[in-house]
């Protein structure tokens, strides 16, 4: 079953609880983008936002650390309620060690890949991780246009996971919309991160309904 993660980067933060309650019946995760102004050209959320979201909802929270030196911060995000933590391949020297540090604390470990990073870079850790987060825009800002070559990357990661005998989640983040959601799923995506398509849409139910029709499943929420 394809899952949806709602990115609060696109919501009305002045009404965070209302925004989350509005969508929690149709999403599987709340997505929190943590940006440091160093690895990416923007500064967004930190631990206090995660803590606030955790108080608002019981839905699992996936935290995307777009920061340098993520090993300095993963423990506090885990302590405050993250269920998934994604760290960028490009940001840490000891990726294998960090993956197992996250998993040893009972949290799922994903590795994120920037648009320019080839999926082959994951070959030495693919059997250790729970999932891959494929950035289909350049990280830093919400509302960007989807990079079409990301579809081939999704396909390669899906093929790699099958070849290695592992069942990886493949999360896609950036520019996901009604026009490309179906092809992303067909090529192996299992989690779609959406911000504008959820919080800014006049009919935010469209994505769930589309995937339900495609897969022939009933909504579990």
With bands split at pLDDT 50, 70 and 90, how would you rate the model's confidence at 179? confident
Residue 61 neighbours by CB under 8 Å, 6+ apart: 29, 30, 31, 32, 50, 53, 54, 81, 82, 83, 84
Query: 33 an active-site residue?
Result: yes
Angle ∠(99,114,81) on CA atoms, nearest 5: 45
Least confident window among 17-21, 75-79, 159-163, 181-185? 181-185
Catalytic hit among 28, 36, 62, 173 = 173
What confidence score (pLDDT) does residue 219 get?
45
Strand partners, 110: 86, 131
Is 221 within the bounds of a domain?
no
What's the whole-number mean pLDDT along residues 13-23?
94
Is 220 within the bounds of a domain?
no
pTM listed for this prediction: 0.91
What confidence score (pLDDT) does residue 205 get?
66
What confidence score (pLDDT) does residue 133 get?
98
pLDDT at 79 over 50: yes
More confident residue, 112 or 23: 112
Is 51 within the bounds of a domain?
yes
- Our count of domains for the chain comes to 1
Domain span at residue 199 reads: 4-8+12-215
First-to-final CA distance of the chain: 13
The mean of the pLDDT values for the chain is 91
Q: What CATH number does residue 24 fall under?
A: 3.20.20.70
What confidence score (pLDDT) does residue 47 get?
96
Is 77 within the bounds of a domain?
yes
Is 33 within the bounds of a domain?
yes
Tell me the per-residue pLDDT of 20-75, one tens digit each, with 9 for 90 and over: 999 998 899 999 999 999 999 999 999 999 999 999 999 999 999 999 999 999 99
pLDDT at 112 over 90: yes
Catalytic hit among 28, 33, 36, 130 = 33
Query: 173 an active-site residue?
Result: yes
């Amino acid at each position: 079953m394809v899952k949806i993660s709602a990115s609060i980067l696109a919501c009305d933060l002045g009404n965070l609880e209302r925004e989350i309650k509005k969508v929690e019946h149709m999403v599987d995760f709340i997505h929190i983008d943590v940006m440091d102004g160093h690895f990416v050209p923007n500064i967004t959320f930190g631990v206090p936002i995660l803590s606030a979201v955790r108080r608002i909802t019981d839905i699992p929270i996936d935290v995307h650390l777009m920061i340098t030196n993520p090993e300095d911060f993963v423990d506090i995000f885990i302590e405050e309620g993250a269920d998934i933590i994604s760290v960028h391949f490009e940001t840490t020297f000891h990726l294998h060690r960090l993956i197992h540090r996250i998993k040893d604390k009972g949290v799922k470990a994903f590795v994120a890949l920037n648009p320019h990073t080839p999926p082959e870079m994951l070959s030495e850790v693919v059997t250790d991780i729970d999932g891959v987060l494929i950035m289909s825009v350049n990280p830093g800002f919400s509302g960007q246009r989807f990079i079409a070559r990301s579809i081939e990357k999704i396909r390669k990661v899906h093929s790699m996971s099958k070849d290695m005998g592992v069942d990886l989640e493949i999360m896609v983040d950036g520019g996901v919309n009604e026009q490309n959601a179906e092809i992303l799923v067909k090529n192996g995506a299992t989690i779609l991160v959406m911000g504008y398509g959820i919080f800014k849409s006049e009919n935010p139910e469209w994505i769930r309904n589309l995937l339900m029709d495609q897969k022939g499943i009933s909504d579990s929420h």
